[in-house]
Amino acid sequence: MATHSALEFVTPLTLGALAEAPVHTELMSLTQEREMGHIRLAREADLVVVAPITAHTLARLANGLADDLLTAMLLARRGPTLLAPAMNAGMWENPATQRNVAQVVADGYLLAGPTSGALACGESGVGRMAEPLDILEAARRALSDKPLAGRRILITAGPTREAVDPVRYVSNHSSGRMGFAIAQAALRLGAEAELVHGPVSLPPVLGAQMTAVTCAEKMQAACLALWPRCDAAVMTAAVADFRPESAPTSKIKKQPGQERMTLELTRNPDILAAVCAARRPGQVVMGFAAETDDLLANAQAKLARKGCDLLAANDVSDTRIGFGSERNRITLLAPGAEPQAWPEMDKETLAEKLLLALAQRWDAA
């Protein structure tokens, strides 16, 4: 379906060819309206996505107008509808627009964006349409069951960086993909997501509360501040076990003839153990163990040492499922239960399965 304004940018022929479907444009179509086309379109779709939606169309929706095919269809619709606003930053921030947004949300419409960035007018600010993949993810959330509705989940992701000096640091190869996939899955399953992450090169998770940190001490502080209002924690971050004992404020220079340098390291805080120790009744903690050998023995020892409810162990020596890969294979452990060896799968699918396993702990409580 395309509005008259949309057809100023792209023709119905082009849209139809790309969609491999007819393009509906007219409310008073002689062919469609003999069958009450706007009613049929409203009822047939599992989900309607309006992308982009302008300030003008938002205003019409907020006031219940039905003066073209799109607004008539939306007024007749009873199922979920996702709106992806796009406009100039000043228009988005205008009190009238904000009143209209509040009204459509109160009426049950779902929003994806807008985000901040470069705008078509040449300015920069909030008003940019959400990226297509983010709109797709919002659509998936709208159509998903919500077994985690009402829950808030704390998730850690990525590596930590421990400063050697202002230029260098100690870190690891974690990409953060697993933790970001879990945050996406948590939102899709109806939960709120608190995502505390180290330095990563991944786009933000739309809808998650993002907290960016650098080192282990800051990650622990952020986690312990958020933990009291969460129902569960999924600790995927690869936290450095040690950090340099001191980090000078100036770059360390190599000296003439120097062949070696000794770096004194000190123990970092154990974030998973700290979260487990601060757990209250009803809270569930899932840890992760990235191992290179003796996977099961090392994971079982970690489960007992940390005191978590569940532990997902994976073999990072396998490059197909190690750091930075899009797939993973884990063995899930729980106190007093037989380890469950899961098959290899993409991290998106794995994230949902892990959260559903976590939800079973609540159901059993």
Q: Determine the Cα–Cα distance for residues 232 and 76; give it in Å rounded to an integer.
A: 40
Gyration radius (Cα) of the chain, Å: 25
215 labelled catalytic: no
Strand 110-111's sheet: what is its strand order?
A: 48-53, 81-85, 110-111
Strand 192-197's sheet: what is its strand order?
A: 209-212, 192-197, 152-157, 232-235, 284-291, 310-315, 330-333, 340-341
Q: Which of 121, 215, 276, 308 is catalytic?
A: 121
Cα torsion 242, 245, 251, 253: sign: negative
Helix (H, G, I), strand (E, B) or coil at 282: coil
Q: Determine the Cα–Cα distance for residues 277 and 151; give it in Å rounded to an integer.
A: 21
| Residues flagged as binding site | 241, 251, 269-272, 288, 302, 306
Give, in degrees to the nearest 5, the angle at Cα 11 between 8 and 12. Answer: 125
| Residues flagged as binding site for CTP | 241, 251, 269-272, 288, 302, 306
- Give the DSSP letter string of 238-278: B--SEEES---SSPPPPPTT-------EEEPP-HHHHHHHT
Catalytic residues: 121
